Amino acid sequence: MKKNKKFITLFVCFFAAYLLPELLFPDAMLYLAGGLVANSLQGILQAFIENSQDSLVLILWALILATFTFLLFIVRNKGLKYIFIALLFILLYFVDFGLFNFISYDPSIPKRIILDTPFKRTTFSFLQIISKSLILSFIVYLSLEKETK
């Protein structure tokens, strides 16, 4: 029961941390995190590859996310752990960035999920927040469990 309580506490904290900016400034964190990470990666890729694609940026973003997750598990310094958690918090906007390749606000675009009503947009946003919160809670929970063993 104590383990479940720890996970639920982490989930509620991360859910609130993802929800608050979304309520105050809808999609602002997505634009900041996505723009910072994706544009930086796009710029680096263009230095080496003339026609870099979004899929390559997503793959690199996922690799960076996996690297920081791995580092979270091996680092012993608490300060570095908090830095990695903060970086993972930002890098998990990868979920949003990846999903935006499959959605559209314009019904004329074929083969995409259409978010043409406020209810659909709100529901989709809520699902994104839940998914990011669950992923980050699971990563941090496993990291804490590994630390206590």
- Going from the C-alpha of 149 to that of each of 143, 144, 146, the distances in angstroms are 10, 9, 5
Q: What is the pLDDT of residue 80?
A: 92
Q: What is the pLDDT of residue 101?
A: 67
Core vs surface per residue 95-114: b (16+ CB within 10 A) or e:
bbbeeeeeebeeeeeeeeee
38-47, 61-70, 85-94, 131-140: which has the minimum mean pLDDT?
38-47
Q: What is the pLDDT of residue 68?
A: 94
Q: What is the pLDDT of residue 43?
A: 81
Tokens of 98: 């990846």
Over residues 59-81, the pLDDT tens digits come to: 888 898 999 999 999 998 989 99
Length of the chain: 149
16-20, 49-53, 78-82: which has the minimum mean pLDDT?
49-53
Core vs surface per residue 118-127: b (16+ CB within 10 A) or e:
eeeeeeebee
Beta-carbon count within 10 A of 85 CB? 16
